[in-house]
């Protein structure tokens, strides 16, 4: 058996570590979506998580696992998305500093949100090398611990706790369909889900305009993201050195959907389920409504995750 960044025991320990700090989010259903998909669907509502996304699980696990001496020096990350807010809040709850590197081009509303959670923001040029160099400088200056957004064992284990909860609530699932960006979420779900039920089938979901995991699966080797272009802005990142091996070995297939399919699914969820879910958060749901996924046999009960609900109400997504 191959070894990965974490295992089921790590996910179970993470669940204990974050209990009472992170929301145990509800699992919801919809007869309308069941009829459209041709099977029973169960939605893990991480859009209702603190900071509005599943990222709070991994960030909290990573922060709570630090020793008191490590924690006192704080944590560092580079992110302009949900991980930045998640780490800032997780650090504030523990009473330690969080140094967040964000690109100068990040929307002011995101910078304000990170600062609102207590994060100390450092702006940099809008490219990966600048972000990494700035984060490394802050680590050197402060002695803080770097907590990457997805390619980090404690983050992956924390994200897997949502799958544990879902399988406790719905133990007889045949499959789960999970969005893929950097891969921290789906890696955690694979490790937790297949650890609890080895027969559970795991499928990935990506936008057509950011399909590096699908292309990597098809080629049988890791292919980095090049020029992503999709409304699902939370899924623009390439999978990582720790997440790709789990996807390679444990994910049965990765399906892609167009931005138009994402928009129509997002509108459907808002109107029928009365839930605010961001574009990235409905990609798995868009997949289960496609003819390609409907053609799969033996899937009566399918679990999905509404992975985030951070939308701009000033933006007309459709």
The residues annotated as belonging to the active site are 55, 80
The contacts of residue 163 (CB under 8 Å, 6+ apart) are: 11, 44, 176, 188, 189, 192, 193, 196, 303
Phi, psi of 59 (to 5 degrees): -65, -40
Instruction: Give residues with Cβ within 8 angstroms of 181, minimum separation 6.
Output: 150, 210, 234, 235, 236, 237, 280
Contact 304, 179 (CB under 8 A): no
């Amino acid at each position: 058996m191959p070894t990965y960044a974490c295992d089921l025991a790590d996910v179970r320990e993470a669940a204990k570590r974050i209990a009472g700090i992170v929301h145990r989010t509800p699992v919801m259903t919809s007869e309308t979506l069941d009829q459209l998909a041709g099977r029973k669907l169960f939605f893990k509502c991480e859009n209702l998580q603190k900071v509005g996304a599943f990222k709070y699980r991994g960030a909290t696990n990573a922060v709570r696992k630090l020793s008191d001496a490590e924690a006192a020096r704080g944590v560092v990350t580079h992110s302009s998305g949900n991980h930045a807010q998640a780490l800032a809040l997780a650090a504030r709850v523990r009473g330690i500093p969080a140094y967040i590197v964000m690109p100068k081009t990040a929307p002011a509303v995101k910078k304000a949100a990170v600062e609102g959670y207590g994060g100390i923001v450092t702006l940099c040029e809008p490219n990966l090398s600048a972000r990494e160099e700035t984060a490394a400088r802050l680590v050197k200056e402060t002695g803080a611990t770097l907590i990457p957004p997805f390619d980090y064992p404690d983050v992956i284990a924390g994200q897997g706790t949502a799958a544990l909860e879902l399988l406790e609530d719905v133990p007889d699932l045949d499959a789960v369909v999970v969005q893929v960006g950097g891969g921290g979420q789906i890696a955690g779900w694979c490790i937790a889900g297949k650890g609890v039920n080895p027969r559970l089938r795991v499928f990935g979901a990506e936008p057509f305009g950011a399909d590096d995991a699908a292309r990597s699966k098809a080629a049988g080797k890791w292919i980095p993201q090049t020029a992503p272009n999709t409304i699902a802005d939370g899924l623009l990142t390439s999978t990582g050195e720790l997440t790709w091996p789990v996807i390679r070995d444990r994910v049965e297939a990765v399906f892609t959907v167009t931005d138009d399919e994402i928009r129509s699914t997002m509108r459907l969820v808002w109107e029928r389920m009365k839930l605010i879910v961001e574009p990235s958060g409905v990609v798995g749901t868009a997949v289960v409504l496609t003819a390609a996924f409907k053609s799969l046999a033996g899937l009566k009960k399918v679990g999905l995750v509404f992975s985030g609900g951070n939308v701009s109400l000033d933006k007309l997504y459709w």
